[in-house]
Amino acid sequence: MKRIKAVILVALGLVIGFQVYAQDPEFTQFYAAPIYTNPAMAGTGGCAGGGRVVLNYRNQWPSLPGTFITTAASYDQNFDKIGGGVSLLILDDRAGEGLLTSQSVSAGYSFQMPVNRHFTMRFGIEGQYGQRSIDWAKLRFEDQIDPSRGFVYATKEQWSTNKVGYVNFAAGVLGYSERFYFGLAAHNLTEPVQSFYGNPSATIPRRYTAHGGMVIPLDGRKNPESTISPNVLFMMQQKFTQMNIGFYYNKGPLVTGLWFRQTFGEYGNSDALMALVGFRKDRFKFGYSFDLTVSDARAAAPTSHEISAGIEWCARKPSRKYRKLSCPDF
């Protein structure tokens, strides 16, 4: 019965919440999900204008029944002939043990514009088709309850559909040099409707993201083996506002990181401490991060886990126009 109640609460909260306060999935390793973070980052990976493929997996609050699981796969590559990079992103988000699912496919393009020898701008745009579905059979309604026997009756609730499709767009801008970087992005530009009841006000609100940081060499070399990279990410979506602040430390093939996540506004609190460990071998990279909840929810949902893996390759003919992005990729 405890498990059933938990599924009911998660399910109803999601159904109602998505109509009023929808929130996109998020990744602790936001630079390991570059296309999801900012479409202007398309084409910034790889070697000498090559490409990359990245996989991301996040299990949020696994101690809760009906946990939140997000999986993403992306490809991006730079092409001189089109003056920038292209991207493809596939996202799958599941909540309530498959009760509520969202899938989307996005394709994007970013235009590279060198400002001078040391500073480059990129401007990105992305189109998306998404689908959201719900398994009504996993929900429980008031008219199914018998006071002495529990859920025994068939519900008389009516719903118009169990799937909703939508078209969406995003845009972003990125600026970077050899030692610093910053970006701005806006997602859900069309604010598409996602209601299973045809409610036109049940939309996905726009998500705004600002991110930036710098790379500080620690060993005085032109191509340093040891660096520290302080960085910050600020995200706002309707009444939800969040900031991640922390740093990466690189030492040869090893990467570690530590961040603090704070939310503001109506739902403001100190949310979580996040730690990362990763490594890079040739063109392959792997990272694992651990979120420790420090808010009042820590008793019920103390941890979240995230894994990223990626591979990069070099262009057959090294690009003279390609400008490498200096930001971390974990």
Average pLDDT over residues 190-211: 88
Under the banding of pLDDT at 50, 70 and 90, the label for residue 114 is very high
Under the banding of pLDDT at 50, 70 and 90, the label for residue 10 is very low
- Average pLDDT of the chain to the nearest whole number: 86
pLDDT tens track for 147-158: 776 666 667 666
Under the banding of pLDDT at 50, 70 and 90, the label for residue 22 is low
pLDDT at 322 over 80: no
pLDDT tens track for 50-82: 899 999 999 998 888 778 999 999 999 999 889
> What's the whole-model pTM score?
0.88
pLDDT tens track for 129-144: 999 998 876 776 776 6
> What was the pLDDT predicted at 177?
92
> What was the pLDDT predicted at 148?
73
Three-state secondary structure string covering the chain: CHHHHHHHHHHHHHHHHHHHCCCCCCCCCHHHCHHHHCHHHCCCCCECCCEEEEEEEEEECCCCCCCEEEEEEEEEEEEHHHCEEEEEEEEEEEECCCCEEEEEEEEEEEEEEECCCCCEEEEEEEEEEEEEEECHHHCCCHHHEECCCEECCCCCCCCCCCEEEEEEEEEEEEEECCCEEEEEEEECCCCCECCCCCCCCCECCCEEEEEEEECEECCCCCCCCEEEEEEEEEEEECCEEEEEEEEEEEECCEEEEEEEEEEEHHHCEEEEEEEEEEEEECCEEEEEEEEEECCHHHCCCCEEEEEEEEEEEECCCCCCCCCCCCCCCC
